[in-house]
Structure 1
Amino acid sequence: MLKSLHIADFAIIRDLELKLGDGLNLLTGETGAGKSIIVDALGLLLGGRAETGVVRAGARLAVVEGVFAVSESEAIARALAEEQIEWDDELLIRREIQAGGRSRVLINGQSASLALVRRLQPLLAEIYGQGEQQTLQSLRTHTELLDAFADSDDLRRAIASLYTRRREIRQALDDLERDRREREREREFIEFQLAEIERVAPRAGEERELEAERALLVAAEELQTLGAETYLELYEGDRSALALLGAARRRLERVRHLDARLAAVLGDLEQASALIAEAAETIRDRLAALDFSPERLAALEERLASLERLKRRHGVSLDELAEVAAQLRQRRASLIETDRRREDLQRELEAVEARYAEAAAQLSATRRGAAPRLAQRVARELGALAMEHARFQVELRTAEPGAEGYYSAFGADRAEFLLAANPGEPARALGEVASGGELSRLMLALLTVCCAAGSGTLVFDEIDAGIGGRVAEAVGQRLRELATRQQILCVTHQAAIARFADHHFVVAKRVRGGRTEVAVRRLGWEERIGELARLIGAEDIAEAHATARWMLEEARRR
């Protein structure tokens, strides 16, 4: 709901403040007083194109500000969150147009894009008349109005939810498919690496053991020669250390009785002989155990080379290869899980598409049942709005499953409203056959028939073009009925419409300091009588005032 509109230095408006209320807000005034300029300013605020020359002569910039009371809305919250704009239950939108043509937008004091304002516009206000008919000429609006009439909001929400989920799944599948070849190559390489590690099967500490054994095998021949010589010198040779010690011990045995201290030396020689014998036996046993094998040495060299290749390939030590293998297995499991996710997503996509097809078929049937009833009801409304010869049709086109346009947030159907404004003419698209005033009345008829309460403001300009008397009365009644559900701002020249206002404003030009400017004033009861009398335009002023008073009192009683 639009709470207030402030316009400064826009066209011939110097400074204007309009505070609107609930229900039906009416703007009246002399032709050319500036009523449509106020509507133009609101259109500019909501993302309209800034034409050259909108800045008041002599001013640096034009400013249009609007305060909108907004109920909780996921669409508004999502749009504002994307640009990180804070809000609560009000939006203050400000648009500035510089004399040079540049402009900027502020929402709640934060810089915002014009694209965001245009995105919010349908949620804040719709303008009908003076060529601002983009909404009614949008086929999506036609479909939405048909659904509102058919009371198929639940189906529409289900369709929208399924469509969104399908789009998310397809995006995820596309992402997975785009990376599939890379994942396959990575998985093949991981399998190769793991197979190599598992084939070699390295053990922690193995390299040190192998190098020690290789060193022994490489030195085996020298060990045999030197060991055998040492064994002979210690044990078996005629002049071995053991033989010489035995001879020395025997000589001491013969003289030990001559010197008691020599007995201790003899004990040392016996102990030395035992140690030499033990060392010789150890050398003999080790030489016997040595088994020099060229085949074993070759096997050791090949094994060590395999381990070295693994270390170089992965850039780690042998002891760290186990961790490398664990990481490779974890990554392989992740790739396998990704493939499983793709299969799960494919199954979910098929299920979502099946549910969408069922819901879309049900929604299509609902729409086809409602379309002729909507056309009939709107035709009756148009008849009451001085378009009794107009023919209104609802054309419904349904895309086949799998065809372009089948999947959408609003189902497989595209509704289009067709109108023949005059007898004998074929029904054609609205933009081809309807004037601004006719489109405004058509929109009023559609909103009267279709819509429940909304949070945005409906703005009608030129809705009374080419009508009067009984028709204007019918338009006024429908505006008042619609205003019980939604705030309306309406520009009118008809007393029969103005009488139903909840809030009546008069727009007038005045001259200040030699320059023309626009002023707006909210009217009280007696002032409204005077303004309605002016709109009636009777020559007898007293009679016009009496008629105006009666019209207001009659409207109040209804």
Structure 2
Amino acid sequence: MLTQLYIKNFALIEELSIAFAPGLTIITGETGAGKSILIGALGQVLGARASADFVRSGSKKAVIEATLVPERPEVILPLLAEAGIDPAEELILRREIPVNGQSRCFINDSPCTLQVLKQAGDLLIDLHGQHEHQMLLHPEMHVSLLDDYAGLAPLLTSYREVRAELNATRKKLSRLRADADRIRDKRSMLEYRLEELTSLDLREGEAGEIENEIVLLENAETLHTLSSGLSKLLYDDETSAFVQLSEAVHRFDRLAEIDGTFSVLLEEIRNAAGIVEELSRSVRGYSENIEFNPERLEELRERQHLLQRTAKKHGRSVEGLVELRNDIADELAAEENLPERTEELEQLSATLRQQLSELAESLSSDRKHAAAELEESVVSELAVLGIPDCIFRVLLTKEASLEGDILLDGACFNAFDNGCDRVEFLISTNPGEEPRPLAKIASGGEISRVMLAMKSVLARSARLPILIFDEIDTGISGAIASAVGKSLKRLSATHQILSITHLPQIAAMADRHLCVEKAVRGDRTTSSVRQLDEGEHIEAVASLFSGRERSESSLQVAAELVEQAKAL
């Protein structure tokens, strides 16, 4: 439901805030007062094309903000999530139109693109201008309207799930076949590379081990010299550290015999001597085990060079050769299972295609039955609205294709997101004329009534709970106007309706009546909106009969129309 519309510096409007309520809201006012400016402003937050000309003279920018409470939040939630907008109970759509530069769009104070704003508006409001926001004039929407009317949502969900699984299976199958072709084309090369790598008898971490061992063998003389000299310093020479520490131990021992405070230091010096002795044994053992092996060094160098050449050849590091060998082995092993895996996916694909065809056939059958009911209902509604001799058709067609996924009676048809049917509404409003697409109806009055008839028939299932009519009374009067007013009144039981009208028969049906007025303040013209009380409502309806000079008879007729509307 639309609860609030705020407009600032838009066309003739300086600033106003309008509260809306459920039911039927009628908007009236003298010609040029700015009734259509309200609808135009609302169109801006629904993503209509903006222009700097909309900004009120002397202002830097225009701001339009619409506050809505979605009756079916699940419809809008996916769009908000994709746009990174946090959901809330209220949805605030805002458009700022500067004198210079591009307009800015917001949803719940979060910046968004114009496309996202328009998509949100399309999901929430059907604004029926002369040629804008008219769902029924877009053939691509007809299948959804028919499906809503027929209650096909569960069947559609099943169809889409199977179609998604079929597409996913086909992608897997395509990748599998591509892999098979790729491996088949280069199998000989892969086998050669695997044999080459396998013959190297590669080990994890081998390159590092070789490098370390080469360093040790290349520096064997230096290592032996250093470790031998260190052994002498620590233990072997007459002036070694161990000899010196042993003498120190002897002296600390004598001191401790005289002064017990040296006992702790004695223990520490003994530990130091023990450490030096242990170090000397380790160094001696290391020195004795140093290998002088030129043959081994040459062997390691050759192995290192071989690994480096092979790594360069394959564009890998030496460490990556093991991974490469394993990858090639896995790739060749996978080919052996390709025929079996391919057959499994082909069988699954065939099964899913059969299921998809069965679901598409069920959708088509249900649509045919619903189409017949919808045709009859729309014709009846249009007769009430003053188009008695019309023909309304729901055209269902399919696209034949040799590669289509839907198989019906031995023929293949393309599979769309909602089945295999193309749906379009056709109409003829004059006897003798063949039904044509709705978008080709020339008369504005006929368009308005066809729209109203369709919306009335589809009221139980229409996805847009807010309907706005800018020209619902174009080209009608008298009894037809009364019929249109009653139809709007009935429709407002399930939808929030906003309608601009010039006809008293329609205005009398209002649950709330807004009057647009234009006044000159200083040297500026300003439009404003005022909600009428019951007495003013009757006077406004009477004015639509007789103009500003309301007669007693016009007031009486207006009061009677209002009372009749209450009875509805």
TM range (shorter): 0.7 to 0.9
- Tell me, yes or no, if structure 1 residue 464 matches structure 2 residue 461: no
Q: How far does the alpha carbon of each residue in 1:61-94 deviate from its partner, in whole angstroms, 9 at most, with x for none?
A: 2221111212454452222222212221222111
What pairs up with 1:443-462 in 2 under 5 angstroms? 443-452=451-460, 454=463, 456-462=465-471
Q: Given the two structures, how large is their TM-score scaled by the length of structure 1?
A: 0.73
Q: 1: CA distance between counterparts of 2:496 and 2:337?
A: 55
Q: How far does the alpha carbon of each residue in 1:212-239 deviate from its partner, in whole angstroms, 9 at most, with x for none?
A: xxxxxxxxxxxxxxxxxxxxxxxxxxxx
SS in 2 for 1:458: strand
Q: 2: CA distance between counterparts of 1:341 and 1:521?
A: 72
| Aligned with 2:491 (options 482, 494, 497) | 482
What pairs up with 1:431-450 in 2 under 5 angstroms? 431-450=439-458
Q: How far does the alpha carbon of each residue in 1:33-82 deviate from its partner, in whole angstroms, 9 at most, with x for none?
A: 21112112211221111246222222222221111212454452222222
Confirm or deny: 8 A CA contact 1:495 1:535 kept in the other structure: yes
Confirm or deny: 8 A CA contact 1:394 1:418 kept in the other structure: yes
Confirm or deny: 8 A CA contact 1:440 1:461 kept in the other structure: no
SS in 1 for 2:361: helix
Partner of 1:112: 112
Q: 2: CA distance between counterparts of 1:393 and 1:500?
A: 31
- Tell me, yes or no, if structure 1 residue 524 matches structure 2 residue 521: no
Deviates more, 1:411-420 or 1:174-183: 174-183
Q: 2: CA distance between counterparts of 1:59 and 1:480?
A: 39
- Code of the residue aligned with 2:453 in structure 1: it is A
Partner of 1:313: 310
- Code of the residue aligned with 1:557 in structure 2: it is A
Assess, with a 3 A threshold, how the Cα gap between structure 1 residues 190 and 497 changes in structure 2: closer, same or farther.
same
SS in 2 for 1:67: strand
| Aligned with 1:425 (options 427, 433, 452) | 433
Pairwise CA RMSD of aligned residues?
3.7
Q: 2: CA distance between counterparts of 1:111 and 1:496?
A: 43
Assess, with a 3 A threshold, how the Cα gap between structure 1 residues 2 and 160 changes in structure 2: closer, same or farther.
farther
Sequence identity (%) = 36
Confirm or deny: 8 A CA contact 2:45 2:65 kept in the other structure: yes
Confirm or deny: 8 A CA contact 2:456 2:487 kept in the other structure: yes
What pairs up with 1:385-396 in 2 under 5 angstroms? 385-396=385-396
Q: 1: CA distance between counterparts of 2:132 and 2:323?
A: 69
Q: 1: CA distance between counterparts of 2:74 and 2:50?
A: 29
Structure 1 residue 311 displacement after superposition? 6.7
- Code of the residue aligned with 1:313 in structure 2: it is T
Confirm or deny: 8 A CA contact 2:52 2:98 kept in the other structure: no
Question: Number of residue pairs matched?
Answer: 467
Deviates more, 1:344-353 or 1:490-499: 344-353
SS in 2 for 1:53: helix
What pairs up with 1:168-179 in 2 under 5 angstroms? 168-171=168-171
Q: 2: CA distance between counterparts of 1:77 and 1:183?
A: 45
Confirm or deny: 8 A CA contact 2:65 2:95 kept in the other structure: yes
- Tell me, yes or no, if structure 1 residue 148 matches structure 2 residue 148: yes
Structure 1 residue 312 displacement after superposition? 4.3
Larger radius of gyration: 1
Assess, with a 3 A threshold, how the Cα gap between structure 1 residues 527 and 320 changes in structure 2: closer, same or farther.
closer
What pairs up with 1:50-199 in 2 under 5 angstroms? 50-51=50-51, 53-71=53-71, 73-100=73-100, 102-132=102-132, 134-171=134-171, 191-198=191-198
Q: How far does the alpha carbon of each residue in 1:167-193 deviate from its partner, in whole angstroms, 9 at most, with x for none?
A: 444455556666766566787655444
Q: 1: CA distance between counterparts of 2:200 and 2:335?
A: 24
Q: 2: CA distance between counterparts of 1:351 and 1:513?
A: 77
Confirm or deny: 8 A CA contact 1:68 1:92 kept in the other structure: yes
Assess, with a 3 A threshold, how the Cα gap between structure 1 residues 327 and 145 changes in structure 2: closer, same or farther.
closer
Confirm or deny: 8 A CA contact 1:145 1:451 kept in the other structure: no
What residue ranges of structure 1 are gaps of 5+ in the alignment?
Answer: 209-300
Confirm or deny: 8 A CA contact 2:508 2:538 kept in the other structure: no
Partner of 1:407: 415
Q: How far does the alpha carbon of each residue in 1:468-509 deviate from its partner, in whole angstroms, 9 at most, with x for none?
A: 232222222222222222211111122222222222211111
Assess, with a 3 A threshold, how the Cα gap between structure 1 residues 557 and 177 changes in structure 2: closer, same or farther.
same
- Tell me, yes or no, if structure 1 residue 510 matches structure 2 residue 519: yes
Partner of 2:293: none
Q: How far does the alpha carbon of each residue in 1:387-433 deviate from its partner, in whole angstroms, 9 at most, with x for none?
A: 12332222211223644972111211111111222233332222222
Q: 2: CA distance between counterparts of 1:397 and 1:320?
A: 59
Structure 1 residue 555 displacement after superposition? 2.1
Structure 1 residue 196 displacement after superposition? 3.6
Partner of 2:41: 41
Confirm or deny: 8 A CA contact 2:477 2:503 kept in the other structure: yes
Structure with larger RCO (C-alpha < 8 A, sep 6+): 1
Partner of 1:271: none
SS in 2 for 1:144: helix
What pairs up with 1:218-297 in 2 under 5 angstroms? none
- Code of the residue aligned with 2:435 in structure 1: it is A
SS in 2 for 1:477: helix
Confirm or deny: 8 A CA contact 2:16 2:528 kept in the other structure: yes
Q: 2: CA distance between counterparts of 1:311 and 1:7?
A: 75
Q: 2: CA distance between counterparts of 1:515 and 1:370?
A: 56
Assess, with a 3 A threshold, how the Cα gap between structure 1 residues 474 and 182 changes in structure 2: closer, same or farther.
same
Partner of 1:261: none
Q: 2: CA distance between counterparts of 1:26 and 1:189?
A: 80
Structure 1 residue 360 displacement after superposition? 0.9
What residue ranges of structure 2 are gaps of 5+ in the alignment?
Answer: 211-297, 406-412
Structure 1 residue 16 displacement after superposition? 2.4
Assess, with a 3 A threshold, how the Cα gap between structure 1 residues 309 and 481 changes in structure 2: closer, same or farther.
same
Confirm or deny: 8 A CA contact 1:459 1:488 kept in the other structure: yes
Partner of 1:6: 6
Confirm or deny: 8 A CA contact 2:127 2:469 kept in the other structure: yes
Structure 1 residue 305 displacement after superposition? 7.9
Partner of 1:496: 505
Structure 1 residue 8 displacement after superposition? 1.7
Q: 2: CA distance between counterparts of 1:340 and 1:71?
A: 51
Q: 2: CA distance between counterparts of 1:79 and 1:7?
A: 25
- Code of the residue aligned with 2:499 in structure 1: it is C
Q: 1: CA distance between counterparts of 2:121 and 2:318?
A: 67
Deviates more, 1:167-176 or 1:524-533: 167-176
